[in-house]
Amino acid sequence: MKSLKLSVSLVFLVLFQLGLSAQEPEAEKPAIIPQPAEIEWKEDFFTLQERTVVCFNSGAEAPAAWLQRLLKNTYTQSYTMKGENCNGFSLNLDPNLEETLGKEGYNLDISSSVVSLEAASEAGLFYGIQTLRQMFPAEIENEKVSEEIKLPQVAITDSPKYEWRGSMLDIARSFFGPDYIKKHLDRMAFYKLNRLHLHLTDDQGWRIEIKQKPKLTELGSKGAVKGGRAGYLTQEEYKEIQEYAAARNIVIVPEIDMPGHIYSALMAYPELNCEEFANIEPRLATPPQLFHEYTVGWSKLCLDKPEIYDFVATVLGEMAEITTGDYLHIGGDEIEDERYKEFVVKADSIVRGLGKVSIGWEEVTQAQVDSTLISQRWTGKTKSIVNTRVIESICSSFYFDHANIPGQEFTNNWCQERGVSLKDTYNFKSKNPNTIGVEAPVWTEMVLSNEAADDRFWPRTIAMAEVGWSEDENKDYKNFINRLGEHGLRLDLLDVHYFRTPEVDWNSDRNKGVFSEFMPESRW
């Protein structure tokens, strides 16, 4: 009899607890990507009031404006004021925090009455705001949220693993203009990426205005792969893109690929060729023909002609003059020539003489380039003779022109026949102590539209963002794809035509984004 009473009591206890659970379900924690270094969720909430203040100290004006832009899409009436320790939102820029947080880290603390954010730089505050943004309803991305917003109380201390967290867009084979580039910058910023590498020149097209060499765009910009788009960026457009990027703490890295991959220049200025076009082999096109095919690695400057260095100095000189970032990428891949090493050393010297840092594809480290050069590894097979800093772009993990899943149509597969999966990207680990970061390229010989570019970039770029930001011990693939699934609706509302990776349980059924007239005003 005693055991029966005990069993009945246990049943009532279980039912009582189930009833409590039904009445008060535990709130789901926001899906933060990249995974923060340290995060401690608490039980209560910060409730956004109908009127709130964003206070900031000296130097934090720009981040305060970004936060106000976010709050503008809510029901609150917010205003900014200079000050510290206000109720509401408090931004504090303190350079002394660099010792503990680095240049891009931040502390975010949400209590019942204050959302407090501190960092050593504007970039750190900006990244803290991106984390905060992911705690708001997804609808905030393109419409005004009128329902009550509750932010979970939390303490986050966060900083990136790598200083270089990059994305690369090839606009040479098929042209992508300022509008798409700006959209891509917005999306990069949301996931705390900080370098956009633009591949500006290749056999198919020359995409940047060089005023001292006008034929490069008058003639060389007319080409593209079959079905692709021709065009070029004016210098004013390029400067505007840099300014737009800088406001989002992103540096533009321009690439002028040489001495190979350069038919568009050889066509515009035939004097850069050897006699009888001996530098073009196989002869897939000769001036004044344009080149519309996919083949690479068949053209090069005539390295026997000393005058080619006048051309190189002129082009790199103008690029240095209009580039606000520290870097000029000189390409240097897929070429065989007995004077190749001599060329690379001279090109690197020209870049350094212009006050910039050289970047080259890994083949350039076969030459005795300066140790300040940064090597971008894509095969990992080059035997380097110099010790340089390294950007990891290994094709089996980061070449996003390859298929998202095996068999995806109209994608490359030369590096890895099955493609480059989300997991391939996420599980990348560098063993090189000289690694400064990661970067994922999208080559565009088979990427002919904005939608196709989105499909290749996203969501794999999100996985790469976590590789670049989060320490290995904080990463877990199963946990990542769970968090990623919670970003589906937000990506839809940001008008991202992302590939719906089958293993991810996306929280939205929509394949295409949702445009709203409110969206341009809220663009990040």
Domain boundaries, given as residue ranges, for the chain:
28-158, 164-475
Report the DSSP pairing between strands 88-93 and 114-119.
parallel
Judge contact between 439 and 430, C-beta under 8 A: no
Local structure of residue 48 (DSSP, 8 states): P
CATH number for region 164-475: 3.20.20.80
- Single-letter amino acid code for the residue at 308: I
Other C-beta atoms within 10 Å of 410: how many? Answer: 11
Kindly report the CA angle at 430 between 424 and 435, in degrees rounded to 5?
130
- Please, are residues 442 and 459 in contact by the beta-carbon 8 Å criterion? no
Alpha-carbon distance of 197 to 439, in angstroms, equals 9
Q: What is the CATH number of domain 28-158?
A: 3.30.379.10
Task: Name the strands in the sheet holding 38-47, side by side, starting at the edge strand that comes first in the sequence.
Answer: 38-47, 150-158, 106-110, 114-119, 88-93, 51-56, 77-82
Q: Which residues contact 78 (CB under 8 A, 6 or more apart)?
A: 51, 52, 53, 54, 68, 71, 72, 88, 89
Cα–Cα distance for residue pair 379/395, rounded to 1 Å: 6
Q: State the number of CA atoms in the 13 A half-sphere of 164 facing the CB.
A: 24
Which are the catalytic amino acids?
Answer: 334
- The C-alpha angle with vertex 247 and arms to 243 and 252, in degrees rounded to 5, equals 55
Q: Which two tokens stand for residue 291?
A: 């080149």
Q: Is the peptide bond before 30 cis (omega within 30 degrees of 0)?
A: no
**CB–CB of 89/67 below 8 Å?**
yes
Per-residue pLDDT of the chain (524 residues; tens, 9 = 90+): 434 333 434 434 433 344 433 444 445 799 999 999 999 999 999 999 999 999 999 999 999 999 999 999 999 999 999 988 789 999 999 999 999 999 999 999 999 999 999 999 999 999 999 999 999 999 999 999 999 999 999 999 999 999 999 999 999 999 999 999 999 999 999 999 999 999 999 999 999 999 999 999 999 999 999 999 999 999 999 999 999 999 999 999 999 999 999 999 999 999 999 999 999 999 999 999 999 999 988 999 999 999 999 999 999 999 999 999 999 999 999 999 999 999 999 999 999 999 999 999 999 999 999 999 999 999 999 999 999 999 999 999 999 999 999 999 999 999 999 999 999 999 999 999 999 999 999 999 999 999 999 999 999 999 999 999 999 999 999 999 999 999 999 999 999 999 999 999 999 986 544 433 333 344 56
Q: Cα separation of 318 and 330, whole Å?
A: 14
**Which among 196, 56, 36 has a CA at the least distance from the CA of 105?**
36
Q: Which phi and psi (to 5°) does residue 197 adopt?
A: -95, 120
